[in-house]
Structure 1
Amino acid sequence: MGVDLGVVLALLLASVLLFILNKPRMDVVALLVILALPLSGILTLEETLSGFSDPSVLLIAALFVIGQGLVSTGIAYKFGDWIIQRSGNSETRLLILLMLTVAGLGAVMSSTGVVAIFIPIVLSIANRLGSSPARLLMPMSVAGLTSGMLTLVATAPNMVVHSELVRSGNDGFGFFSITPIGLAVLVLGIGYMLLTRRWLERKPAGNPAHPRQTLASLAARYRLTDRERRLRVLPDSPLANQPLNALALRSEYGINVIALERPQRLRTLLLVATGNNMVQAGDILLVDLASPAIALVGVYQQLGLQAGPLSDSYYNRHAHQLGLAEVALPPESALLGKTVQGLGFRSEYQLNVVGLRRQGQALDGLLIDERLKSSDTLLVAGTWKAINRLHGLSRDVLLLSVPAEVDEVAPTKRKAPYALLSLAVMIALMVSGVVPNLLAALIGCLLMGAFRCIDMDSAWRSIHWPSLLLIVGMLPFALALQKTGGIDLAVNGLLQLLGDAGPRALIAALFALTAVIGLFISNTATAVLMAPVAIATAQALGVSPMPFAITVAVAASAAFMTPVSSPVNTLVLAPGGYRFIDFVRIGVPLTLLVMLASTLLIPLLFPL
């Protein structure tokens, strides 16, 4: 092994360790790789930065926009309502429809986003059926992962492997090349989950609930009702003519201003609170107290405030302007460990944090000095427009649930048919091959914008830039390993170990190796590393590289074995009440079954 290869392997090992520790963030690690490779002299600066011009990177960015258009127009939520109507009171029918729907949507948009949308729907349905959410949420995560095996654009690893095939001078994947394998795995997964759901931890469900959350049910879920107040600003109030951010009402008095009602001649103007709102005498402050037991009579007098009547929740009264939403903090969120007071949610997202749930229980009041944990969910309040913007902020904040009232105020609700048309045009262009896949996706994005299914600001926010940077940073590793002989070393090792056993044994070994590596680093990074090995192995054997490339793509999506193997698994961990061992017990046998099915089917569908 040469010195250059040793340097590359050392950098690779260091990157993997940092990925496992998640310190620093994965996109920062990618930037460090981009810096280290040219400084080491192994790659030129142009070679290191070549990932920025890779068509797969731009294609993935375009697909984030397409997925956001489907969410913004309410299409994903409509599928949830359809499942509720069709499943009736049958858990078996619900499980099948749920897995089919999640897999179908995940074939054309982010599986993480799809699972996040369906978590509250599944919790509500399970509650209504008197069933355990644990019997449904893990099957849903299996379907979300399997969706990556259904189309070329379903997940980033597919496009990474496709790009490597093209770069090595071979034909790439077609839009539906991987679909036969994906459908077989989906059927296998549905049957497997129907048989093994009884192994999942079962907890008693609560009382029947609405199929979808409403403003009222969300407020009750987070115990907001007893903390709402209407406070009139008196003429002599020291708050008058002062901006909200200068008053420190939340930190000093436990008073969180959600909105201001400003009486006008013919109507009442509602101003959703931001730090720059100027308080005027006569305004009515709609506030949320830090605790329902807080005694503020003396504080009201000191601040020149007068408590007013509150016959109904102000969220119901102003439902067309003021909304609520439930959000989770992904494992890689930079907000973990911060206090509610230190989040800066109002300045960053124009939303107020009004509730906190931990381990399935709402805290008694909003403890602003409480440090956030990965299992926490937050309730935020603000305009529907600000809530909808959270769809594209999946790095630090993941939108879990919005109430049914959003359907009545969503600005792009009427554009759903045009969003479906844009998606259909993109798929038709990709399948026909009339234009390259990247151009087809860009055409779909432009159609989404032309039909006003999504605006430009939402499109930019929908792109998960850390994921793109991770791909760009990991792609040079494949080139570096190839230049320094690392790929040849891996291929020779595989051939010496299993070369006499035949191609099927090599396919099984590639699957196992890819799945094991995927336990420690992202499936995208895994695909970047394993795709060149798979293609070079096929070339050394003198056979078609397609079945070997398909194997890596399928194995990269088969991240069933642990709750940290994929963000999809991590999302359902807390809502399902799962333990780490639950994923091992269910996921390891499923992965072995998928490996066996892939070893048998891939050589048949993609001849060597």
Structure 2
Amino acid sequence: MTSEIGFVLLILILMLLGLVFEITRPDIILFFTLSLLLLSGIITTEEALKGFSNEGMLTIALLFIVAASIQKSGIADRVIRKLLGSSNSIRWTLFKILTPVTAFSSVLNNTPIVVTLTPILRKWCADHQLSPSKFLIPLSYATILGGTLTLIGTSTNLVVHGMLLDAGKKGFSFFQIGFVAFPAVFFGLLYIILFGYKLLPDHKDLLDKVNEHSKEYISQMEVDADFPFLNASVETAGLRRLKGLFLIEIIRKDEKVSPVKSTTIIREGDKLIFTGLISTIAELQKIKGLQLRTDSDFSLDMLKNGNTQLIEAVVSHHSSLLYKKIQDSNFRSKFDAGVIAVHRHRERIKSKIGDITLKPGDTLLLLCGPDFDKKISQSNDFYVTTPLKTPSLLEDQRKGLLSLFLLLTMIMLVTLNILSMLKAMILLVILLLLLKVITPEEAIKSLHIPVLLLIACAFGIGTALLESGTASFLAGGMVHLAKPYGILAVIGVLYLVTNLLTEIITNSAAAVIMFPISLEMAQQIGIDPIPLVLAITIAASASFSTPIGYQTNLIVYGPGGYKFIDYVRIGFPLNIIVMLSTILMIYTFWI
């Protein structure tokens, strides 16, 4: 092993540790990794930047725009609402939901599908006295499985397709990955619907659980006539930065003031609603003129009025709030919302709200003002998992149907080899803009720059593995380990390593790291690289055993009230089903 290979391996290990322990956002970790490889001379400037012009990455960017035009129409959620019906059978309901969801996910980004359908499923479960925890992980898994059916089903497929083209090889056809993946999808769905859901817990909805124990989250103090700061602002009264507590709302007769601003005036008779470390409420009782209220019938729902909503939201992988304290993020003015509680790994973080540092997957319980809907529509900071008062307009529905028709037309042109995938998506986005189905502003907002930065940087890292000889070194070790047991074992080892990586880091990063290794393995054993590339493509998407490997798994983590072990319990058998099916298909038709 040369010193250059040793250096690249060290950088790669540090990158993996940074991703596993969530030191900062994934795109920033990969950007620093790429920068180190560039500055050390491992790769040239051209090689470092090649990912930013890669056909797969550019196609993903265009697909974000297409997905946004369809998503805002509400087509998917209208279909699911009609299919849900009134049946109380979990198995039959799962069949009715997961089948169309899998189909939708084969041509649309799975993240907005899960975000859109999560609140719909939770409300339906509440109406039918069923646990949402029986449905949300299956929803995530169905979108992941559906993404393997076509070239555009997931960013991973397009990333690997782009790398094949960069390597001078023929990229995937539109349904080539799906041909291999279809049996895995079929048997995977069958497992989830018939047996898998039984392995999931029967948890109550988080909002219901919080309402049952509302005294652990909120406390009331009433302002008497002898309060020394009557008719003064919240800031002047010293109620803005309290030890362990946060003033979330003021109830004044029939009026509810929320979110509370620093300039809000305190009046006699006001009921001050605090959240945070309720155990520290004794400190407030020492203030003259503040009396603790212990109404037994007070609940979180009583905080709502005509202009406010109780909302549950999940912090995204690419949020600008990540690794910042809530008090430093200007949260209240940025979103017109106050944070009542933060849950992480199904447990409430018992700390002063402002001192909590947010991480991906954190579930926030928010009391939102009238401008919340508008402000969150301009942000990718978190996914709202409770219904918002934003009905889809008829005009948006028509535009969504037009978007879907145009997308299917482009898919047909790509399948018939009339257009390349990139050219088809360029033409489709131009048509969407010309027909005013989506505005330029909406198109720019839909691009998800952190995701694109992560993918583009990953390309450069993959090039460094190849050019430095690190990919050849790692491939040699894997071939040496597996070759004595036959080609089936070689495919199996490659699949397992890729699958392990995708469970602990992002799927696109796992695919890019393993792509050059798969090429080197194919060369060393003397076979066509396509079967090995197909193996890593499907393995990189098949993240079922942890909540952190795939974004949709993390989205449903908090709303479903799951524990880490729940993903292992239902996901590990699904990993085995997909792996065995994929390996056997590849071995049967390509080897």
TM class, shorter-length: 0.7 to 0.9
Answering whether residue 100 of structure 2 is matched by residue 101 of structure 1, we say: yes
Give the distance between the partners of 2:330 and 2:103, measured in 1 at CA: 37
In structure 1, runs of 5+ residues without a counterpart are 207-212, 228-236, 259-271, 280-286, 300-311
- Return the offset for 1:71: 1.9
Give the distance between the partners of 2:150 and 2:367, measured in 1 at CA: 35
Answering whether residue 36 of structure 2 is matched by residue 51 of structure 1, we say: no
AA partner of residue 335 (structure 1): L
How do 1:25-424 residues align onto structure 2 when only pairs under 5 Å count?
Answer: 25-85=25-85, 88-197=87-196, 199-203=198-202, 290=274, 326-330=312-316, 333=319, 335=321, 340-348=326-334, 350-353=335-338, 355-356=340-341, 358=343, 369=354, 371=356, 374-379=361-366, 381-382=368-369, 387=373, 390=376, 393-394=379-380, 396-403=381-388, 405-407=389-391, 412-424=396-408
Give the structure 2 partner of residue 234 of structure 1. none
Give the structure 2 partner of residue 309 of structure 1. none
- Return the offset for 1:597: 0.9
- CA distance change for structure 1 residues 377 and 534 in 2, over 3 Å: closer, same or farther? same
- Return the offset for 1:574: 2.5
Query: Given that residues 4 and 468 in structure 2 are in contact (C-alpha distance below 8 angstroms), is that contact kept between their aligned partners in structure 1?
Result: yes
What is the percent sequence identity of the aligned residues?
28
Give the distance between the partners of 1:115 and 1:178, measured in 2 at CA: 22
Q: Secondary structure at 1:519's aligned position in 2?
A: helix
Over aligned residue pairs, what C-alpha RMSD do you find?
4.5
Q: TM-score of the superposition, structure 2-length normalised? A: 0.79
- CA distance change for structure 1 residues 183 and 238 in 2, over 3 Å: closer, same or farther? same
Answering whether residue 583 of structure 2 is matched by residue 569 of structure 1, we say: no
Query: Given that residues 153 and 159 in structure 1 are in contact (C-alpha distance below 8 angstroms), is that contact kept between their aligned partners in structure 2?
Result: yes
- CA distance change for structure 1 residues 317 and 467 in 2, over 3 Å: closer, same or farther? closer
Query: Given that residues 106 and 149 in structure 2 are in contact (C-alpha distance below 8 angstroms), is that contact kept between their aligned partners in structure 1?
Result: yes
Give the structure 2 partner of residue 581 of structure 1. 565
Query: Given that residues 201 and 562 in structure 2 are in contact (C-alpha distance below 8 angstroms), is that contact kept between their aligned partners in structure 1?
Result: no
Give the distance between the partners of 1:513 and 1:199, measured in 2 at CA: 29
AA partner of residue 153 (structure 2): A
Query: Given that residues 135 and 197 in structure 2 are in contact (C-alpha distance below 8 angstroms), is that contact kept between their aligned partners in structure 1?
Result: no
Equivalences, count: 554
- Return the offset for 1:249: 9.2
In structure 2, runs of 5+ residues without a counterpart are 221-229, 251-257, 265-270, 276-280, 290-300
Worse overlay, 107-116 or 12-21: 107-116
Give the distance between the partners of 2:342 and 2:15, measured in 1 at CA: 35
Worse overlay, 353-362 or 421-430: 353-362
Give the structure 1 partner of residue 496 of structure 2. 512
- CA distance change for structure 1 residues 332 and 424 in 2, over 3 Å: closer, same or farther? closer
- Return the offset for 1:555: 0.4
- Return the offset for 1:256: 6.9
Give the structure 1 partner of residue 5 of structure 2. 5
- CA distance change for structure 1 residues 199 and 424 in 2, over 3 Å: closer, same or farther? closer
Worse overlay, 164-173 or 367-376: 367-376
Task: Output one character per residue of 1:53-74: Cα deviation in whole Å (capped at 9) or x when no partner.
Answer: 1111111111122222222111
Q: Secondary structure at 1:178's aligned position in 2?
A: helix
- Return the offset for 1:189: 1.4
Work out which of the residue numbers 517, 528, 536 in structure 1 matches 2:520: 536
Give the distance between the partners of 1:11 and 1:375, measured in 2 at CA: 29
Give the distance between the partners of 1:225 and 1:416, measured in 2 at CA: 42
AA partner of residue 46 (structure 1): E
Give the distance between the partners of 2:50 and 2:238, measured in 1 at CA: 49
Give the distance between the partners of 2:482 and 2:304, measured in 1 at CA: 65
Q: Secondary structure at 1:328's aligned position in 2?
A: strand
- CA distance change for structure 1 residues 8 and 358 in 2, over 3 Å: closer, same or farther? closer
Give the distance between the partners of 1:583 and 1:541, measured in 2 at CA: 36
Give the distance between the partners of 2:467 and 2:474, measured in 1 at CA: 13
Query: Given that residues 559 and 565 in structure 1 are in contact (C-alpha distance below 8 angstroms), is that contact kept between their aligned partners in structure 2?
Result: yes
- Return the offset for 1:567: 2.2
- Return the offset for 1:554: 0.6
Answering whether residue 524 of structure 2 is matched by residue 525 of structure 1, we say: no
Give the distance between the partners of 2:433 and 2:501, measured in 1 at CA: 39
Query: Given that residues 102 and 147 in structure 1 are in contact (C-alpha distance below 8 angstroms), is that contact kept between their aligned partners in structure 2?
Result: yes
Worse overlay, 522-531 or 160-169: 160-169
Give the distance between the partners of 2:538 and 2:452, measured in 1 at CA: 21
Give the distance between the partners of 1:414 and 1:383, measured in 2 at CA: 27
Query: Given that residues 165 and 535 in structure 1 are in contact (C-alpha distance below 8 angstroms), is that contact kept between their aligned partners in structure 2?
Result: no
Task: Output one character per residue of 1:39-62: Cα deviation in whole Å (capped at 9) or x when no partner.
Answer: 212221122111111111111111
- Return the offset for 1:342: 4.0
- Return the offset for 1:133: 2.4
Query: Given that residues 126 and 205 in structure 1 are in contact (C-alpha distance below 8 angstroms), is that contact kept between their aligned partners in structure 2?
Result: no
- CA distance change for structure 1 residues 410 and 460 in 2, over 3 Å: closer, same or farther? farther
Work out which of the residue numbers 470, 491, 504 in structure 1 matches 2:475: 491
Give the distance between the partners of 2:554 and 2:463, measured in 1 at CA: 32
Give the distance between the partners of 2:145 and 2:97, measured in 1 at CA: 13
Give the distance between the partners of 1:478 and 1:406, measured in 2 at CA: 43
Give the distance between the partners of 2:236 and 2:100, measured in 1 at CA: 49
Worse overlay, 92-101 or 549-558: 92-101
Q: Secondary structure at 2:482's aligned position in 1?
A: helix
Give the distance between the partners of 2:561 and 2:404, measured in 1 at CA: 35
- Return the offset for 1:525: 0.9
Q: Secondary structure at 1:153's aligned position in 2?
A: coil
Task: Output one character per residue of 1:57-96: Cα deviation in whole Å (capped at 9) or x when no partner.
Answer: 11111112222222211123213312323x6222112111
AA partner of residue 190 (structure 2): G
Query: Given that residues 359 and 574 in structure 1 are in contact (C-alpha distance below 8 angstroms), is that contact kept between their aligned partners in structure 2?
Result: yes
Worse overlay, 52-61 or 371-380: 371-380
Give the distance between the partners of 1:245 and 1:443, measured in 2 at CA: 55
- CA distance change for structure 1 residues 342 and 478 in 2, over 3 Å: closer, same or farther? closer
Give the distance between the partners of 1:149 and 1:368, measured in 2 at CA: 40
Give the structure 1 partner of residue 422 of structure 2. 438
Give the structure 2 partner of residue 262 of structure 1. none
- CA distance change for structure 1 residues 343 and 64 in 2, over 3 Å: closer, same or farther? same
Query: Given that residues 117 and 401 in structure 1 are in contact (C-alpha distance below 8 angstroms), is that contact kept between their aligned partners in structure 2?
Result: no
Give the structure 2 partner of residue 547 of structure 1. 531
- CA distance change for structure 1 residues 142 and 120 in 2, over 3 Å: closer, same or farther? same
- CA distance change for structure 1 residues 429 and 4 in 2, over 3 Å: closer, same or farther? same
Give the distance between the partners of 2:213 and 2:403, measured in 1 at CA: 34
- CA distance change for structure 1 residues 220 and 68 in 2, over 3 Å: closer, same or farther? farther
- CA distance change for structure 1 residues 603 and 113 in 2, over 3 Å: closer, same or farther? same
AA partner of residue 491 (structure 1): A
Q: Secondary structure at 1:378's aligned position in 2?
A: strand
Give the distance between the partners of 2:574 and 2:441, measured in 1 at CA: 41
Answering whether residue 450 of structure 2 is matched by residue 471 of structure 1, we say: no
- CA distance change for structure 1 residues 493 and 24 in 2, over 3 Å: closer, same or farther? same
Give the distance between the partners of 1:222 and 1:344, measured in 2 at CA: 28
Q: Secondary structure at 1:412's aligned position in 2?
A: helix
Query: Given that residues 393 and 462 in structure 1 are in contact (C-alpha distance below 8 angstroms), is that contact kept between their aligned partners in structure 2?
Result: no
Give the distance between the partners of 1:336 and 1:245, measured in 2 at CA: 27
Task: Output one character per residue of 1:504-547: Cα deviation in whole Å (capped at 9) or x when no partner.
Answer: 22211211111112233211111001112223322344433222
- CA distance change for structure 1 residues 475 and 204 in 2, over 3 Å: closer, same or farther? closer
- CA distance change for structure 1 residues 362 and 415 in 2, over 3 Å: closer, same or farther? farther
- CA distance change for structure 1 residues 120 and 166 in 2, over 3 Å: closer, same or farther? same
- Return the offset for 1:315: 8.1
Task: Output one character per residue of 1:524-583: Cα deviation in whole Å (capped at 9) or x when no partner.
Answer: 111001112223322344433222111111100111112222222222222333222222
Give the structure 2 partner of residue 454 of structure 1. 438
